[in-house]
Amino acid sequence: MILDGFTAADVDTPGGARIRVRAAGTGPPVVLLHGYPQTSAMWHLVAPALAADRTVVLADLPGYGDSRTGGADVAASGKRAMAADVVAAMAALGHGRFAVVGHDRGARCAYRLALDHPASVSGLAVLDVLPTGDVFARVDAAFARSAWHWFFLAQPGDLPERLIAADPDAFFLRGAAELFHPEALAEYRRAWTRPEVVHAMCQDYRAGAGVDAADDEADRGVRTIACPTLVLWGARGPLGREPDVLDVWRAWAPAATGRALDCGHYLAEERPDETLAAIRGLLAG
């Protein structure tokens, strides 16, 4: 079974969230945060090897998988609130300072965590994202066509939730099923067939278009990320057409290093060995 040897637990946070974590290993701690529309199972090809000499914590983002958010309003799904929940969960596990690795929405939580809680973060890796504020500043026709779900999921009310409920697999998979291990896919499906998880995903994107973008703009040019920062992206994914990924990140994390991998969006599942090696390099530094 995938992630055999990882022990699951639920951690309640002062903000009212409940975070499902899976942990294994001993040594310096690192928390891995998944993306949309997945769960912490996405790390199954990377996490066991990391746990050979690290304490590895896999966390379902608030509202995703088996976690829940700390409130019903959109702000509770903002990355500032999510980051605070992750910090609280790690503290409850005995980890006051740790490295954080995030993919997709998890990467948005990860860099917000590094901005808001710098004393807690020993290293940061962001996989296949640009900062939220920069994404919205760059929206063009090509992005709107390829990433239309950003705008669909962010619609107010319950329209997206009702439409997705008609056929969740058709909406979330859209031809990507072959990329995922069958057991990981079963975990993702178990989550996204639950109405409360779909609602949380929509709240996440509503927050992205609102409080997250506003928080980024408030910090732009004011705060930067000082810890070692790794940026990875897929050459055949959505960032493959962006010529200045590292330049964008260096405005936020001046010492950022990184590169593109020969894959699409799901780096840890498409190129696990290269992803693992890059993360190990960050952690060793």
From CA 79, how far away is CA 202, in angstroms rounded?
Answer: 14
Q: Which of 60, 66, 104, 204 is catalytic?
A: 104
Establish whether 265 is a catalytic residue: yes
* Dihedral, CA of residue 149, residue 69, residue 282 and residue 125, to nearest 10: 20
Question: How far is CA 13 from its chain centroid?
Answer: 19
Establish whether 104 is a catalytic residue: yes
Separation of first and last alpha carbons in the chain? 32
What sign for the dihedral angle of Cα 79, 84, 256, 36? negative
Q: Which of 34, 103, 199, 265 is catalytic?
A: 265
Among 36, 8, 31, which residue's Cα sits nearest to residue 86?
31
What sign for the dihedral angle of Cα 134, 261, 83, 87? negative
Cis amide bond preceding 182, omega within 30: no
- Quick one: which H or E segment has residue 116? helix 105-116
Q: Is 97 left (phi over 0), alpha (psi -120 to 50) or beta?
A: beta
CB 66, CB 11: distance < 8 Å:
no
Give the residue numbers annotated as catalytic, written as ranges. 104, 265
